Amino acid sequence: MAREGKTSKWGWLSKLFAWRSNKNGGRVVAEKYMEQAWNAPHYKKSANGLGKNSVLKVAAICGSLSTTANNLGLINAATEIAKESISGMEIELLDLSGIPLLNPDLITDDVYPDAVVTFRKKLQEADCVLFATPEYVYSVSGVLKNALDWASLSPNVMGGKPAAVMTAAGDLGGARAQYHLRQMGVYLDLQFVNKPEVFVKAYSSPKKFDENGNLIDTDVKASVKELLLGLQSLATKLLSSRACGPRESFSMVV
């Protein structure tokens, strides 16, 4: 267990409610946490924009845990493509395997589980996020949803970040999961690249992946590269204008 130093067991929940209320007290809490998030290393760095020699740090999140997963194959292909043919982009895969199911009982006196602290810190330090997920029961995998829940706890470590998504799944190539993720992105305040939409029909011919989950299809590789270039372009725009960062307004239901 490690200390992140933000909230107590039920503190995050009450702060979330406070944030969402229109009462003055809620605004004070919201502003305090906005300031905390804004001063995180990611935003300090992005305040200067991406200079000529700056490297865009991409945190990759895979909704599959298997070492031979197709979606891991997509992330590995993206990492290779970035290394070989996109200058100024570095992709690091975050480890979700040790992240426990979210349970407030695991948060005692400001302390989150170690794996969660590491995951949140890496997200905070990244400039943007790349997702690959299978579709499970018409949505994203539980592994991914759980990781997003932890990331959302105040301060939301994904707030304002540019993001891109790829899905490898059955007949629709994971379209339903992908749109669910984009919907969750509203709560998380992620700024998704709209196009290209990378839906990979994992089981249709021609074969897209080998038996170890490596991506072997050149058309899909080209789409992955287009997506990365789209992410780089969006991130450069947002980070250099400092338009990205936690924003004050939450949803208003009146």
Ligand X SMILES: Cc1cc2nc3c(=O)[nH]c(=O)nc-3n(C[C@H](O)[C@H](O)[C@H](O)COP(=O)(O)O)c2cc1C
Strands 128-133 and 111-112: unpaired
Instruction: Verify binding: residue 35, ligand X, rule CB under 6 A.
Output: no
Tell me which of 138, 207, 216, 247 binds ligand X, using CB under 6 A: 138
| Size of the residue set binding ligand X (CB under 6 A) | 17
Q: Which amino acid appears at position 5 of this protein?
A: G
Site for ligand X in 172-201 (CB under 6 A): 172, 174
Of 50 and 202, CB closest to ligand X: 202
Which alpha helices (DSSP H) does the chain contain, by range? 11-20, 24-38, 41-46, 70-85, 114-125, 142-152, 175-188, 218-240
Within 8 A by CB and 6+ apart from 221, the residues are 77, 81, 215
Bridge partner list, 131: 61, 165
Instruction: Verify binding: residue 75, ligand X, rule CB under 6 A.
Output: no
Cα dihedral 96→100→106→110 (10° resolution): 0
Instruction: Verify binding: residue 134, ligand X, rule CB under 6 A.
Output: yes
Q: Give the residue at shortest CB distance from ligand X.
A: 170
Site for ligand X in 93-132 (CB under 6 A): none
Of 124 and 133, CB closest to ligand X: 133
Tell me which of 84, 137, 206, 249 binds ligand X, using CB under 6 A: 137
d(CA 101, CA 78): 28
Q: How far is the CB of 59 from ligand X (least distance, A)?
A: 18
Instruction: Verify binding: residue 69, ligand X, rule CB under 6 A.
Output: yes
Instruction: Verify binding: residue 64, ligand X, rule CB under 6 A.
Output: yes
Closest CA to 129 of 173, 174, 160, 169: 160
Length of the chain: 254
Q: Give the interface segment with ligand X, choosing from 107-115, 170-178, 190-198, 244-252 (CB under 6 A).
A: 170-178
Count the neighbouring beta carbons within 10 Å of the beta carbon of residue 53: 7
Of 1 and 216, CB closest to ligand X: 216
Contact characters 210-249, ligand X, x per CB under 6 A: ----------------------------------------
Instruction: Verify binding: residue 169, ligand X, rule CB under 6 A.
Output: yes
Instruction: Verify binding: residue 136, ligand X, rule CB under 6 A.
Output: yes
Within 8 A by CB and 6+ apart from 72, the residues are 62, 64, 66, 93, 132, 213
Q: List the structure tokens of 242.
A: 């400092």
Count the neighbouring beta carbons within 10 Å of the beta carbon of residue 179: 15
Residues of this chain that interact with ligand X (CB under 6 A) are: 64, 66, 69-71, 134-138, 168-172, 174, 202
